[in-house]
Amino acid sequence: MAHSYTPGLKVTRCTLLKRRRLLPIKGRVVVNRGDMVEPETVVACTELPGDVFPVNVANLIGVSPKDVAGAMLKQKGEAVEKGETLARSSSFFGLFKSEVAAPASGIIETVSGITGQVIIRGAALPVEVRAYIKGRVVDVFPEEGVEVETVATFIQGIFGVGGEVSGILHVTSESPGQILSEDLISSDQRGCIVVGGSVVTAGALRKAVECGVAAIVVGGIDDRDLRDFLGYDLGVAITGSEELGITLIVTEGFGTIDMAGKTFAYLKENEGRLVSVNGATQVRAGVIRPEIVIPIATAAEEICYSAEEPVLNEGNLVRCIRTPYFGRIGRVTALPHELQSMESGAVVRVLEVQFENGEQCILPRANIERIEEK
Amino acid sequence: MSIPDPDSIKVILATDCGSTTTKAILFEKVGDEYRQTFRGEAPTTVEAPFEDVTRGVLNAAQEVEELSGRKILDENGGFIKPACGKDGIDVYISTSSAGGGLQMMVAGVVRRMTAESAERAALGAGSIVMDTIASNDRRPPHQQIQRIRQLRPDMILLSGGVDGGARSHVVELAELIAAADPKPRLGSTCKLPVIYAGNKEVQEEITRILGDKTDLDLVANLRPVLENENLGPARDRIHDLFMEHVMQQAPGYRKLMSLADVPIMPTPGAVGLIIQNVAERKGLNVVGVDIGGATTDVFSVFDGNFNRTVSANLGMSYSISNVVKEAGLENVLRWVPFEIDERPLRNAIKNKMIRPTTIPQSLSDLIIEQAIAREALRLAFIQHRDFATTLSGIQQERSISDAFEQSGGGASIVSMMKLDLLVGSGGVLSHAPSRCQTALMLLDAFQPEGFTTLAVDSIFMMPHLGVLSALHPQAAAEIFEKDCMIYLGDCICPLGNARPGKACFSLRLESSDGFVLERELSYGELALLPLGTGEEARAVCRPERNFDFGAGRGRVVEKVVRGGEVGLIIDCRGRPLTLPQEALARTRQLAEWMKILEIYPADRFESVVKAYGGVAERSV
């Protein structure tokens, strides 16, 4: 049987999931191997070197750079408080004095005799890394972080904004095609991960932020609504650091698109569970897609691993990801070897698909993604 | 690496390890000449789960093996060398931009002087410049330090001050770098490589400040005097450090380096090299463009001066939405010969951004994508023209004839009237369903003036030929001419504007076999004359008094023009090219031009335009 390689998003009912939780620089790991952790548990912490404040003392007190060291009231390595006099010069037999105050509290790191510049290093910035998902610590990397493992229902979205949050899963839409409108959002959903259907409206997004909803998971969003919500037009899909008061995960794409039936079903059957989501997306080399992790009470040994490779075969379920059939779902009926000419004139590798309504069509292989069925 | 004698090289395998795809190409000596014979590709394997670039290389080589019937790989995953009959290869060479390529930060004292020279050196070496720090870049020092800390470049190039000139500013920059204590992007345990190429008299101070905190390298000043740049030593050192540091850290690269017979080059560096070679060999002014999924690189050589720019986030897949954002949707839509609703179009563009590997299936999709490509190319070229300038800060020697010329240092050296050859590369240009589409995209985006040859890289092999040119210049030159460059044809584009329909110029064309064609061209006209690949004709152009072919307004110009796969294009649409403001007139005009060049199949084009409101039906 003919087959070919194809990418696709993971939508899995039960999988063993591991997440490395690492510090940006070396620090201290505060949990042990085997510990059970909640999403908010701090697993490692460190301190980043403080901000740097350069002060051109020579210019400010009117001395030559080589005389700055002599004018300093505090020396290299000493602490200064914001507003404290850092250096002083006097002229005309002490009649006129010039002073410079420290712009920030910190430690004097350098005093340059060439440029007359003094550099103050501010207080260290504490950094904490949390577990993000509920699970067990299975590995500890000394001074760096840990690996947390959980058995979970795992769903990848296609695009998201906002970072890591956790909350109780709340499915508001009755079907994958229902629009998530303002009236479906209420203050009862504070801290929840709210699931909608085909699209979220701009009004619903705004109200969700007002009501303190932690995240929204939905099939689609209109580009204009996203632009209004972000306050700018997104040029490249590298997200995750937005501070919008909510995380948004889109499972299908831009526009009004029914959420894939399987995705919606998995979310529906896990309603009420504690889930972790991350909107961070990076569509570049080293691709990162947003994710929904729903830890479930299954022992690791009981997992039925999916042995499927990302290979496309006849009979596979696929989703069209480009016009003119964007969003439609069908089954592969043939994978011809020969290149074929499309309406655009492009001569490409193709596949034949039969849609759910029986309609048959030929598509470029690049314009579909496979939907896993397990 | 033992490099065989060039005369004994018969079979060469070259790969380019891109961010997503590794392209392998086989070059062979066929009779007395070198030719490109087979091509294969495979996904790049720098990322997890493979984390070994050589797997992608071997997979791509395996595809070449299957297509060519030549046994290339041995049982241990190495190459069979040397070639013997239908087995093996003589040489393996490679370029790489995988894992984000070479990412640098540069610093200089004055933004338009030493900092710009440093930027030129870094770009010329094939790197992406993440940021340029200068003493006068209007950012307060703490912001500059914050920026250095945030970006984790592969290396920093620090310059500033002419030899024997001011000391304190460049030392201050070194102090900022030291305070930021930057870490390299790859290999967290290594020190960040810093190249110092500034005032040689402060090398000692720089070593004292940066010597312990960074992996410091001192090279000759890249701006020893204001009047001259000396970019070679800094550029060479960047190449060395790219090999020693960056490549050593990337997954599988040590193995790749051991397989390669000459040092691996950054992909844009290799393309730049081949463009420079062409310009030098033929004595031409050349502009080359490589439009990719994420970035667009523009290369130019004018009067021997080479420049390269990288327009980050102007590309046709990952960055497609950014092109629309930067250009404005109205500028994209001015190239579309039908009216389309903004909302679904914006959603479709975003969908391409998040699923960047999809391709246009419908003709309307293709037309829109090519409209976006015009804007990506236009914006990238504007950036290039602004960057490729004469040196700033120089006292100009002026003769009496220059008395009314206002241009001083810092003027762009890119002159469209002086441009001889425009070469396009990258998927949207190289793989356009018709070469006429490529020609019109180049014309619309670059708007060449006078007489210019248009060409396209047939299958994106300029990187491979660039690295080959370092090993075997003759083979690279032969293959470039015979297999890489597809000549689309010359274009004749008078400079000037008039009212539509007014007389523009008269053309007399004499072919070598005595055939004569005479034609009056009107302003706004686009014409295609049949002149095939390898054919030449003598063109005599008599412009009206407000049009110029480079000899001055209204002056006759004679020139030999060459044909190509598209033909000889006459473009009287004006420079700068202005389109009708009113939507119906604009779409009607575009449809007419597209039909003249037959860039889309007529029947499909009619039905697409009709489906979107039938403008073409009313117009033609």
| Type of residue numbered B541 | C
- Residues of chain A numbered 173-212 and touching chain B (CB < 8 Å): none
| Type of residue numbered A275 | V
Rounded to whole angstroms, the Cα distance separating B104 from B51 reads 23
Nearest-CB residue to B354 (from A116, A283, A363):
A283
Rounded to whole angstroms, the Cα distance separating A249 from A293 reads 12
B130 and B110 share a domain?
yes
B338 and B429 share a domain?
yes
B399 and B432 share a domain?
yes
Inform me whether the C-beta atom of residue B167 falls under 8 Å from chain A C-beta atoms: yes
Tell me if B597 is assigned to some domain: no
Residue B133, pLDDT score: 93
Instruction: Tell me the pairing of strands A135-141 and A36-37.
Output: antiparallel
B72 and B195 share a domain?
no
Mean pLDDT per 10-residue run, chain B (620 residues)?
79 89 93 93 75 89 92 91 93 85 89 91 86 89 83 91 89 91 73 94 95 94 90 89 74 88 89 92 95 90 91 88 95 94 94 91 96 97 88 56 51 93 94 96 98 94 93 92 95 95 96 91 95 95 95 96 97 93 92 92 90 54
Residue B329, pLDDT score: 95
| Type of residue numbered A89 | S
Q: Quick check: helix, strand or coil at residue B284?
A: coil
At A263-317, the pLDDT tens digits run 999 999 999 999 999 999 988 766 789 999 999 976 655 555 554 556 788 999 8
Chain A neighbors of B325, CB-CB under 8 A = 233-235
Residue B615, pLDDT score: 52
Inform me whether the C-beta atom of residue A54 falls under 8 Å from chain B C-beta atoms: yes
Chain B neighbors of A49, CB-CB under 8 A = 181
**Residue A89, CA distances (Å) to A54, B158, B512 in order:** 19, 33, 85
Nearest-CB residue to B359 (from A49, A223, A366):
A366
> Where does A52-121 sit in CATH, by number?
2.40.50
| Dihedral angle of Cα B402, B407, B409, B415, to the nearest 10 degrees | -100
Tell me if B407 is assigned to some domain: yes
Inform me whether the C-beta atom of residue B349 falls under 8 Å from chain A C-beta atoms: yes
- Residues of chain B numbered 239-268 and touching chain A (CB < 8 Å): none
B109 and B64 share a domain?
no
Domain boundary among B459, B490, B521: B490
When the pLDDT of each residue in chain A is averaged and rounded to a whole number, the result is 90
Whether A28 and A46 have beta carbons less than 8 Å apart is answered as yes
Nearest-CB residue to A115 (from B171, B346, B365):
B171
Question: Mind telling me how many Å the CA of A135 is from chain B's nearest CA?
Answer: 23
Please return the burial class of B353, using the count of CB atoms within 10 Å of its CB with bins 0-12, 13-18 and 19+. Answer: buried
B77 and B89 share a domain?
yes
Domain ranges within chain A, ordered by starting residue: 4-46+130-297, 52-121, 311-370
Question: Mind telling me how many Å the CA of A254 is from chain B's nearest CA?
Answer: 5
pLDDT at A104 over 60: yes
B315 and B425 share a domain?
yes
Best residue in B41, B96, B354, B459 for a mutation probing chain A (most A CBs within 10 Å)? B354
- Residues of chain B numbered 303-322 and touching chain A (CB < 8 Å): 313, 318-319, 321-322
Rg of chain B in Å (alpha carbons): 26
B81 and B106 share a domain?
no
| Cross-chain Cβ contact A236/B313 below 8 Å | yes
Residue A303, pLDDT score: 59
| Cross-chain Cβ contact A54/B321 below 8 Å | no
Residue A21: pLDDT band with limits 50, 70, 90: very high
- The contacts of residue B595 (CB under 8 Å, 6+ apart) are B602, B605, B616, B620
Residue A92: pLDDT band with limits 50, 70, 90: low
Residue B486, pLDDT score: 96
Neighbour count for residue B281 (Cβ, 10 Å): 12
Chain A neighbors of B358, CB-CB under 8 A = 321-322, 364, 366-367
Domain boundary among B433, B466, B490: B490
Chain A neighbors of B361, CB-CB under 8 A = 322-324, 342-344, 346, 363-364, 367
At A130-163, the pLDDT tens digits run 999 999 999 999 998 999 999 999 999 999 999 9
Residue A94, pLDDT score: 67
Q: Tokens 């300029």 — which residue?
A: B462
Whether B412 and B385 have beta carbons less than 8 Å apart is answered as yes
Residue A147, pLDDT score: 97
- SS3 sequence of B44-86: CCCCCCCCCHHHHHHHHHHHHHHHHCCECECCCCCECCCCECC
pLDDT at A4 over 50: no
Q: Is the pTM of this model over 0.80?
A: yes
Give the domain A311-370 fold. Answer: SH3 type barrels. (2.30.30)
Average of per-residue pLDDT across A66-83: 92
B79 and B124 share a domain?
no
Tell me if B256 is assigned to some domain: no
CATH code where residue B236 lies: 3.40.50.280
Whether B610 and B339 have beta carbons less than 8 Å apart is answered as no
**What range defines the domain where residue B33 resides?**
6-98
Question: Domains in chain B: how many in total?
Answer: 3
Nearest-CB residue to B351 (from A254, A342, A363):
A254
Residue A302, pLDDT score: 58
Chain A neighbors of B350, CB-CB under 8 A = 223, 226, 234, 253-254
The shares of helix, strand and coil residues in chain A, as percent rounded to the nearest 5, are 15, 45, 45
ipTM of this predicted structure: 0.88
Inform me whether the C-beta atom of residue A255 falls under 8 Å from chain B C-beta atoms: yes
